Structure 1
Amino acid sequence: MTMRLPRVVTGWLALLSGVLAAAGLVVIVVYCFATDGPHARYLAVALTTGMASFLVGCLAGFLFGIPRVVSTGALRLTQDGKVSDDPKPDAVTGQFTPSTNLSEISDWLTKLLLGAGLVQLGSLARLAGVLVHAIAQGISTTTTGTAPVSAGATAMAGAILVTYVVLGFLDGYVVTTLWYGRRLSEMQV
């Protein structure tokens, strides 16, 4: 029963993510064709923004979800009987210890991104506002930047960014944690 729970959770989260992504796609298409102007351009900007946001979220979810190898701290005996704490392949049993390079890089990048993000929180909010405004210009009739962008276009741009970043993060995190973690544990057995 405990081995089945992650598959059920993964299945339901994948279904929920797919349904939300499809619903978001329907909302984007309805918005793009309900707005006056070049519908194909609106759709292209909105879909490209959604896909890019989803991929950024997936990358962040991957970085946060990489399983860590838990070290027991036990010292290993080498073939000559000497004590070594070097995680090299164990010559006695023929088993290999998993490489922790990817998890160390992930841990380092996570700390770096969180640290830089917290220090630059004020400027990140300003940059997010500029990004939302630029996307809103791409999905509205103002292309010169002199006319004010409608509140609906700004709200839609913000919703596209937030929705697809969150969905991508959840997908990346769940897949990395459950599926990739399960594959790593199967390789160690």
Structure 2
Amino acid sequence: MTGLLIFAAAAVTGGLLGFLFGIPRVLQADGQGANESAVPRLLVNTNLEQVSDWLTKILVGIGLVEFTRIIDSSGALFTRLGAAFAPRADAAVLAGTLVVAGIVLGFLGGYVVTRTWLTHIFRKADLTAIEKVVKEEVSKRISQDGDAMRMVMQQLDSDEPVIEVNQLAEALGSASSTARAQVFQLAGTQRRTSWRTADGKPRLLRTVPVFQALTQVAPHEHRYWGELGFALAEQTPPDDKAAVDVLTVAIERRDNAGDAAGWYHYEFVRAQARLRALNGAPADAATRDLVLADARIAMSRPNIKKIIESAPPGNGRDVVGIIRSYVDERPQVRVSTKPEVD
């Protein structure tokens, strides 16, 4: 019975050491990358890992430094435990065998159990918790996207009450980037299909708050500013001064993003808005220079160049014709393929 107790005590000690050495380590990134999902990650408590790491290093360090003293102390321990097996001549040897065997077997058992069964339990618990968090987040995001889409659809419907820009911005700010992209496509399609006719102007006007909300949520996105500028310039009556300011922001955002190709309609519409803002008054030299600068950039796109060159030159309210007249007066502004930005 005494031998069994000695072996059990040694096995428990070895098992504890095996547990400390076998505790699995959780790798956790310090932060999220720019392209990672916005779903929050569950961070587990790693205090036990840290204690295990500290104790393991301490025990190994003490074992190496005090190795000789440990051997001497172990001999003294075996002699004392051997007294329980007196009067056997090999009592100390028997006690030492039980202690060493118990520690070794306990260590192996504790390490294997910790690395397999306990690790599986930890992983399963973590995955269950993470799955719960992800499901809650996905459910919340779906609800937020649905609310944002419903508000936008109401705003785009001419028969429904108007929604304030701040309300739209709050809903879109909580929505996913995918939902915002869909909203942008919906509003952009409605603007492009309604601005040419008088009957479509009310539907175009309903897109303005949507674009304004998008610019509040993502002010770095030049396309939101561009569509807002187009809508302001195309509504009845046009808000040309605001359109010039908004399109100026769109151009700055576009250039900062290095996304100039294919977006020179900003300059073309801004040139027209500058002229309409004069309300029929003759343009001064500064305005003419600004309009010509915009025309020079816009005409680097073949489709815009064709529109300007096919317009009958003249004055009055035909702003494209006025731009054509300016270009004809100063033909050097007709650059070929690449715009020259001063």
Q: State the TM-score bracket (shorter-chain normalisation).
A: 0.5 to 0.7
- Counterpart in 2 of 1:107? 53
TM superposition shift of 1:168: 0.7
Q: How many pairs align? A: 125
Structure 2: give runs of 5+ residues left out of the alignment: 128-342
- Counterpart in 2 of 1:84? none
What is the TM-score when the length of structure 1 is the normalising length? Answer: 0.61
The equivalent position to 1:124 in structure 2, one of 54, 57, 70, is 70
| Local SS of the residue matching 1:160 | helix
TM superposition shift of 1:110: 0.3
- Counterpart in 1 of 2:26? 69
Query: Structure 2 counterpart of 1:171, which letter?
Result: G
CA distance in 1, matches of 2:66, 2:47: 28
Higher gyration radius (CA): 2
Query: Structure 1 counterpart of 2:111, which letter?
Result: Y
List per-residue Cα deviations over 1:146-177 (Å, max 9, x = no partner): xxx61x22221111011111111011101111
| Local SS of the residue matching 1:76 | coil
- Counterpart in 2 of 1:53? 10
- Counterpart in 2 of 1:181? 119
- Counterpart in 2 of 1:135? 81
| Local SS of the residue matching 2:86 | coil
- Over aligned residue pairs, what C-alpha RMSD do you find? 2.1
TM superposition shift of 1:119: 0.7
TM superposition shift of 1:76: 3.2
Structure 1: give runs of 5+ residues left out of the alignment: 1-42, 82-91, 142-148
- Counterpart in 1 of 2:185? none
Query: Structure 1 counterpart of 2:15, which letter?
Result: C
**Which structure would you say has the larger RCO, counting Cα contacts within 8 Å and 6 or more residues apart?**
1
List per-residue Cα deviations over 1:83-121 (Å, max 9, x = no partner): xxxxxxxxx535421111100110000001111111111
- Counterpart in 1 of 2:93? 155
Q: Does 1:165 align with 2:100?
A: no
